[in-house]
Structure 1
Amino acid sequence: MARPQQAFASALRFTCGFRWLFACLTVATCWCPTSHAAESYSEIEAAYRAGDLTKAGEVSAAEVERGVWNRRWSELLIRIQLDQGHYVESLTTYEKAIDRYPTSLPLRALGIEVANFNAKPDLAAKNVAFIENYLNTGQLRYATSDTLVSAGRFFSKNGIDARIVLKSFYDRVLETNPTHLEALVATAQLAVEKGDFKVAAETVAKANRLDVEDARLQHLLALALRGTDASAASKALIAARSMNPSYIPAMVTEAEIAIDREAYQDAQKIVQQILEINANAPRAHALLAVLSHLNGDYAAEEQHRKQALEHWPTNPEVDHLIGRKLSDKYRFKEGAEYQRKALTFDPKHLPATFQLAQDLLRLGDEEVGWALAEQVNEADPYNVVAYNLMTLRDSTDGFITIPIEFDPSGANAMILLRMDPLEYKVYGAAAKALLHNAAEHLCQKYDVVLKKPVLVEIFPKQSQFAIRTFGLPGGAGFLGVCFGNVVTANSPASQLETPSNWKAVLWHEFCHVVTLNKSRNRMPRWLSEGISVYEETQRDARWGQAMNVRYRAMLLGDDFTPLSQLSGAFLNPPSGLHLQFAYFESSLAVRFLIEQHGIEKLLKVLESLGDGQAINAALTEHIGPLERLDGQFTEYAKTLAMDFGNTLDFAEPPRPSPFDSPEQIKENQKQWAQQNPDNYFAAIALTDRDIADKQWQAAIDRLTTLQNAGIANGACGVLKRISGCYRELQQTDNELAALKSWCDQSSDALDALQRLIELHQQQQDWQEVIDRANQALAIQPFRKQLQKDLIAACRERGQMHQAIDALNSLTGLEPVDPAGLHFQLAQAYQSDKQFEQAQNQLITALLIAPRYRDAHLMLLKTQKAIATAKAEAKKKAEAEKAAKAAEAEKAAQAAEEVSEKDKPSDSERSDDQTQASEDSPPSSEPQVKDE
């Protein structure tokens, strides 16, 4: 019997050789005289697509019972019975139908599903064999459009390259009949399954031009847009539910989104709605298993899994869905176990194989993870995510891995830093030092022992980071992501004009490593992100996020989110500002918990989460009732907001009338600003007008008022404006003070730092140059001038050993004079008495420029210094050895003297013997005296 690959080859020959015949047959089968039955079927199918399962089921059953010679009635009835979970009835309907239509490929394909849900693997295998034989014998030459679509779906489920299925089946149907709805739906479904969301969206757009209402199309559009346009995806999902309230796939997606938002009660309600339609729905019970796991009720989890598998005991989709959702919640270990269960049911189930590959890569099990990803890529070349991952692996093969050992608790833990070797030259040493510091400090603070190595990967290209992290290009705005023991991060090289502080990013992500290990990856997103942002500010007051005017308004307005609902703020935020505000408010919540209740209680919450307790229950047990916490946090946050600039008025300016001219609007705004001198927005508006008119002192006066009100931090533009005004007035000391204040409160004010360095150089304040250059390099280490400024300042202070890292960085930035640079490095190492490193740098310089006289001379001196150092080291070692020997001998003599002192005298020995004879009992043995 031909296997699917052989059957496909045969089918492909016939679809190519008889393309003209297929076109003719399609036209012939599409044309028939209008009949009442045809109209009735179209109406009932429309009712089915609209979710009226009762009416559609009753009419279909009546038509089948009436014996109408139209297999579509039987197929529709079977689909309805499967949707409602009437699996036994679907088997009866199928058996009767297949007796009448034994050669129907679409009916046979439907019969595979019927057999599976009735636990009849032999019947399923029989139908598979029939379809393979049907395709192998070339009967597709007479195939209708429906048969070709069914054949394509069969092949796509049996390992045939999806691109070939598209071209040879679905596209062929659409070439003859561009409005064939099922071919369009099948194309979009296949594209979504393979991660080709662009093709999926384009196909749905074509189908929508047919002016048909089909929930399947809107659901597919929602899946296609979910990763790139959350708002449009949400609208499409709402449209799908509106078109068909009983469409279970859309309901499952809606429940999944609710789980992602940690709106578990909403998810529970949606699942119950599914069960009202189909009490046996496997995906509904699978989602209940997920919810039970997240609630720590593992017995209920197993029970729901058992219910999901009740009618199809080897259904791999059940465990695949449970595992995928647990992985979405960062529980990759548990998710991987479920994928392994799915693969025991079907070892060729590619979705489970690929999900397992991704889980293992995120768990740090790279060898097996990459092998599985490669396996999927070879078996399914159209899988976009698998292809992207393998392309990424090829492009990052040249990365180097640097082990970082730390030992905060005797566990011999390790970090593996992986990055491009050229990038490592530039800032690798600083990254290594920062990660070591973060590990020791945070592990001790949160009482965590890292038992497995932590992998930190830094990618020079944003696209590489996105593919490694999300599987697809995109993810702009994400600087780093932590999966538990794996961290991925964007290199500063991938950030363009407005780079962020890469040190703050790595500290933030490593904090995730610690807290996720503490909670076993079982913490809500708001708490995880809140702790990481909070710890940024604890490490460096310039890091993290600070209160600003926008955040103040959001805390006091409708954008404020209660503590118990904070995770929902991260899903589908209306704008980038709202996402940033979610991070800020979460950090505020953590600050509230620590300040008001102590970090010890927060640690207990994390431990309870690790034991499987839900967040609300853990907060209630260790801190207090959730309602009270919500009220306390609301008061805390709003008090902080009110205290921010409390001498100012923050009322928004009135909106301009659409009937006013631009000149009138401008004049009205000016009058309003002048009438409200204590208003923040008025002050900013008048300041900007003063700056435009070059009224620098007037602008400074207004800005100074704002600064005195306490709102001039690194998160607003007050200090930026005021320093600019002082620069225009050439008031260097005042400009310097404003820039210092700005840079002392901001983590990424790169331009301000460069100006500050310039001013300190003019004043020859070299220590300030060193400090500010180091601060700037934490933002953008790839700016050569910053490295050079640091080196020059170290030279001026006679502290060239402090310039070693900067000089090493320049070697990775395409230096104009590489030999000279290595010579400078040799000088720096020599000043730090690292003579062997200096020798290596001199040899490198001479390899580049063999006639470099100064390098030759310095090499001779360095070699003498090395010889002298070795001799001194040897002499010192011998002296230490002799000293130890003398000390040991002295200790031995002292011990001997003590021993002699403790020995009894002759008289004492005599007395002892006398006492012994007095104390000893008489012996029964005869005494024998030795002669």
Structure 2
Amino acid sequence: MTGPAFPSWPFLIPRRAVALTAAAVVSLALASPAWAQEPDAVKARAQLKAGGYATALAAADEALKQPFSQTEEWFLIRLEVLMAQGMYPEALRTAEQALAHDERSLQIQWAAREVFLANGDTARAEEAVNDIERLMSFRRAGYRDVQSIVVHGKVMILRGADPKTVLTKIFDAARKLVPDAREPQLAAGELALEKNDFALAAKTFQAGLKTFPDDPDFLCGLARAFAPSDRKAMQANLEAALKVNPSHVPSLLRLADHWIDAEKYTDAAELLDRVAKVNPHRPEMWSYRAVLAHLKNDPAGELAARAEALKFYASNPLPDHLIGRKLSQKYRFAEGAAHQRKALEFSPDYGPAQAQLASDLLRLGEEDEGWKLAAKVQADDAYNVASFNLMTLHDAMKTDFATLRNDHFVVRMAAKEAPIYGSRVLELLEEARTKLGTKYGIDIVSPTIVEIFPTEKDFGVRTFGMPDNPGYLGVCFGRVVTATSPSARPGAAVNWESVLWHEFCHVVTLQSTRNKMPRWLSEGISVYEERQADPSWGERMNEEYREMILGGKLTPVSALSGAFLAPPSGLHLQFAYYESSLVVEFIINQYGLGALKSVLQDLGEGQEINAVLAKRVAPMETLERDFAVHAKELAQNLAPALDWEQPEPTLLLPESEEALKTWMRERPMNLWVLQRQAEELMEAGAWAEAKAPLQKLIDLYPGQTGPGSARVLLAQVHRELNETAEETAVLAQVAAKEAAAPDVTQRLMELASASGDWATVARQARRFLAVNPLIATGWKYLAQAADKTGDDTTAITALRTLLALEPPNTAELHYRLATVLHRKGDAEARRQVLMALEDTPRHRAALKLLQEIPRTPSSPAPDPNPTPAPEADPFAPDPAPAVPATPPAPEPAPAAPGSP
């Protein structure tokens, strides 16, 4: 069946030994070219490719009346046309005629198999495969053509042969035999897609397009290969396929799938209507209609559409698998899992449903069953890239991860990181649970599972099934949260505390709505709640967002979810988050938090978002209009006295120097001019003179943030002029607005430490650790501040963490920890001081402390006459912080759930 964008029918045949080895097939494939087609058949194939089904069918009917026509080819054309148009009963009659005419044709046998499946006759489909094996066994010399070799390769896959062997020994060999043959390249690409090897699939289809540049099947296959990673390239290839054949059903279905993801349900429905005009019985088309009915809370429509999908093949697992997969992509994992179970009732060994169900269960927090099923999928299909990656990660987590638990959370993170900031993770999550759960009035299902990954690759595998991560810091599935550790992005400043707060807000809203909410609303509430939790968190209006809003790039609320799917740039993606949060803020400010909570409640009952907004807030048209006005006002009110004009590029040329000076003189309130003046003065070392333009810019634009903001530059000026108090004041303003500015917080710790402002040291240390807790700097300052203020509990935590980081001079840390423990009357003080002496036997202060601590019978006696060692300040930050080594995990060698 043409159009391989979706598996036409599932493989239901039990596995057994393959009758003919790959090597035997290749040995038969001597250099005999495929038989030449008569001109009319070539024209009919061209009509098929272009969607001229009626013309191709008429040509086939006419040719089959001729006594000397190329009967096999014309039967294949007729079958392909009938299947493409959903004329399954007629295709069955034609298949029977074709088999009666030539049952020894492997191509006819394979085409008949698909026809039998389309009509629900799995027994005859199995018989057709048996016949192919029998024919290959007894008439090897008769099947040396490329098409027959490809058919046999497909049969080998059905029978459980190693996919790599089939690719290299069958499809690749057939391709080498006839380099411009279409069938082996198409079959190889389909197999790579089936096994989630998207890189190989893309490579294969791209190679095929060099020979068949306008083939819609290759274009659609390439689009599918790009779908997980590059939606723009996917859309471009689908559009190219539909330009060649506007009736290419696989491309229409793939595009409808995309619009469903983007929540453009009307557009998706229109595409499905186009499919129906070509093939009114296509199971995937009815499956997508069932999805749309489900999302509209139309159970009767959903049942009717599902029934149509199963009309000719009542035990076909594909419709339920497809319905469930799309529901899971909408985060409706429980409903999705239910459909996968239905698919497996029809076909217990249907691999796609098994894999999707395993994924659903893991995202529902049903880990024992989920991991067991994932292991089975991987054992049954070792070549499947997604299942291989997932089980490899599972095995690594069993040995390399630690598990932290309390009444409400299960946190898994790298064993070397858990002792460092694991307790803060639990503390932060508990705080978020209390505040957000109370605010939104929801009893949160416990436990919430949070997994924090030290590499982007592992995060991608656990979250998306593949090691690629399209820029996400965290993802929430309802009860399960995955996130990246600070170590996953070396050199990048990200506030991991704000990320976890954001994701836990998703836990609240997704559970509140039973995962039935549009993406823009879910993301908007999370970003909004970030800002409520900490003024420096979340997205805020800035120069880029102002320009986008005033430049007409505000996305309508009804289309806002689609802005997350294929943004033109990273800036556009961040703007989608910001705009969504603005919509939520607008709703709360205009209609109250109660209205928003009512919206969530109605969504949880299955009501459609536009109807809910009309009932609780305002009709979508009104909301979009009023919000657009509000957003424009916010943009206009960002530094309203500031001149935002940019100079023309020609003014920046060397020969335009005088013209540029004139332009700048005429614009004393211009952002670009003030920044340029300040930068030129600073480059010239005119530090005192640079204050004026910077202070003027701060006065005009007090909300400016970022590494090149006026406040950051002014702090540098004060530092150069040794104006410590002024520098401290400006940096404090920067820190209050920036969620992730470790350089700023470190400088504030240095200044506050020098002045003895220990409260500021402690506060800035915690802000530093919220960005990167895996280096010693923040912990040293926190320990120092706690020691100076008598906060023994914090001092003990900070000192233990420093020891877990294994810095070079551990003796001083053991001694300091012993001092605090002794002050609290903790018997562990003696053990710590002995560890200090073990590293530095002549440590005078440690020896003195040891004499003050009561000796237990098991304690060894110290050396009575050691040579004192010089004392050092253990709280002084290292110039180059030590790289964390691997400390003992809180729970040694934890087993991941569902591990064998």
Q: TM-score scaled by structure 2?
A: 0.90
Q: 1:82 to 1:779 in 2, by over 3 A?
A: same
Q: 1:302 to 1:830 in 2, by over 3 A?
A: farther
Deviations 1:723-773 (A, max 9, x none): 122222332222212111100111001111111112222222222111111
Deviations 1:663-695 (A, max 9, x none): 125554444233222222232233333333333
Name the counterpart of 1:737. Answer: 729
Aligned counterpart in structure 2 of residue 777 of structure 1, from 769, 774, 790? 769
Name the counterpart of 2:99. Answer: 98
- Counting matched residue pairs gives 843
8 A Cα contact 1:195 1:385, kept in partner: yes
Q: 1:222 and 2:240 equivalent?
A: no
How far 1:817 moved relative to its partner? 3.7
Which runs of structure 2 are paired with 1:163-562 in the superposition (5 Å)?
163-398=164-399, 399-405=401-407, 414-562=408-556
Q: 1:693 and 2:661 equivalent?
A: no
Q: 1:486 to 1:850 in 2, by over 3 A?
A: farther
Name the counterpart of 2:3. Answer: none
Which runs of structure 2 are paired with 1:458-857 in the superposition (5 Å)?
458-656=452-650, 662-664=653-655, 668-715=659-706, 717-818=709-810, 820-833=812-825, 835-836=826-827, 838=829, 841=832
8 A Cα contact 2:25 2:149, kept in partner: no
- How far apart, in 2, do the equivalents of 1:836 and 1:335 lie? 55
Q: Which amino acid aligns with 2:43?
A: E
How far 1:205 moved relative to its partner? 2.1
How far 1:782 moved relative to its partner? 1.4
8 A Cα contact 1:461 1:494, kept in partner: yes
Q: 1:133 to 1:741 in 2, by over 3 A?
A: same
Q: Residue 744 of structure 1 aligns to a residue in which SS?
A: helix
Deviations 1:135-176 (A, max 9, x none): 444627733100111122233244322111101210110121
8 A Cα contact 2:18 2:159, kept in partner: no
Q: Residue 451 of structure 2 aligns to a residue in which SS?
A: strand
Q: Which amino acid aligns with 1:159?
A: G
Q: 1:56 and 2:56 equivalent?
A: yes
- How far apart, in 2, do the equivalents of 1:714 and 1:862 lie? 52
Deviations 1:786-807 (A, max 9, x none): 2112222222333343222221
Q: Which protein is richer in helix relative to its size?
A: 1
- How far apart, in 1, do the equivalents of 2:628 and 2:613 lie? 16
Q: 1:852 to 1:138 in 2, by over 3 A?
A: farther
- How far apart, in 2, do the equivalents of 1:619 and 1:549 lie? 31
8 A Cα contact 2:226 2:234, kept in partner: yes
Q: Residue 286 of structure 2 aligns to a residue in which SS?
A: helix
Deviations 1:364-386 (A, max 9, x none): 11121111111111221211111
8 A Cα contact 2:404 2:422, kept in partner: no
Q: Which amino acid aligns with 1:12?
A: A
Moved more, 444-453 or 139-148: 139-148
8 A Cα contact 1:429 1:805, kept in partner: no
8 A Cα contact 1:12 1:168, kept in partner: yes
Q: 1:101 to 1:14 in 2, by over 3 A?
A: same
How far 1:832 moved relative to its partner? 4.2
In the alignment, structure 2 segments of 5+ residues that lack a partner are 1-12, 858-900
8 A Cα contact 2:23 2:169, kept in partner: no
Q: Which amino acid aligns with 1:60?
A: A
- How far apart, in 2, do the equivalents of 1:628 and 1:181 lie? 54
- How far apart, in 2, do the equivalents of 1:124 and 1:302 lie? 28
Q: Which amino acid aligns with 2:491?
A: E
Name the counterpart of 2:46. Answer: 46
Q: 1:481 to 1:666 in 2, by over 3 A?
A: farther
Q: Which amino acid aligns with 2:25?
A: T
Name the counterpart of 1:22. Answer: 29
Q: 1:59 to 1:649 in 2, by over 3 A?
A: same
8 A Cα contact 2:229 2:470, kept in partner: no
- How far apart, in 2, do the equivalents of 1:249 and 1:839 lie? 73
Deviations 1:533-553 (A, max 9, x none): 111111111111111111111
Moved more, 768-777 or 819-828: 819-828
Q: Which amino acid aligns with 1:360?
A: L
How far 1:131 moved relative to its partner? 2.3
- How far apart, in 1, do the equivalents of 2:793 and 2:856 lie? 17
8 A Cα contact 1:7 1:136, kept in partner: no
In the alignment, structure 1 segments of 5+ residues that lack a partner are 406-413, 867-931
- How far apart, in 1, do the equivalents of 2:20 and 2:840 lie? 68
Moved more, 253-262 or 391-400: 391-400
Moved more, 59-68 or 298-307: 59-68
Q: Which amino acid aligns with 1:10?
A: L
Specify which structure has the bigger relative contact order, considering alpha-carbon pairs within 8 angstroms and separated by 6 or more residues.
Answer: 2
- How far apart, in 2, do the equivalents of 1:119 and 1:425 lie? 58
- How far apart, in 2, do the equivalents of 1:464 and 1:687 lie? 45
Q: 1:858 to 1:732 in 2, by over 3 A?
A: closer
8 A Cα contact 1:185 1:217, kept in partner: yes
- How far apart, in 1, do the equivalents of 2:488 and 2:532 lie? 27
Q: 1:112 to 1:237 in 2, by over 3 A?
A: same
- How far apart, in 2, do the equivalents of 1:757 and 1:237 lie? 55
Q: 1:836 to 1:593 in 2, by over 3 A?
A: farther
How far 1:6 moved relative to its partner? 5.1
Deviations 1:402-441 (A, max 9, x none): 1122xxxxxxxx2101112220111111111101111111
- How far apart, in 2, do the equivalents of 1:198 and 1:856 lie? 64
What is the alpha-carbon root mean square deviation over aligned residues? 2.4
- How far apart, in 2, do the equivalents of 1:367 and 1:128 lie? 37
Deviations 1:622-642 (A, max 9, x none): 112111111221122111111
- How far apart, in 1, do the equivalents of 2:539 and 2:333 lie? 30
- How far apart, in 2, do the equivalents of 1:567 and 1:865 lie? 66
How far 1:250 moved relative to its partner? 0.9
- How far apart, in 2, do the equivalents of 1:667 and 1:532 lie? 50
Deviations 1:557-582 (A, max 9, x none): 22111222211211111100000011
Deviations 1:262-300 (A, max 9, x none): 111101101111011111111111001000111111121
Moved more, 343-352 or 755-764: 755-764
- How far apart, in 2, do the equivalents of 1:246 and 1:699 lie? 66
8 A Cα contact 1:14 1:138, kept in partner: no
- How far apart, in 1, do the equivalents of 2:711 and 2:845 lie? 48
How far 1:840 moved relative to its partner? 6.4
8 A Cα contact 1:714 1:743, kept in partner: no
Q: Which amino acid aligns with 1:301?
A: E
Q: Which amino acid aligns with 2:606?
A: G
Q: Residue 458 of structure 1 aligns to a residue in which SS?
A: strand
Q: Residue 452 of structure 2 aligns to a residue in which SS?
A: strand
Q: 1:758 to 1:65 in 2, by over 3 A?
A: same
8 A Cα contact 1:14 1:141, kept in partner: no
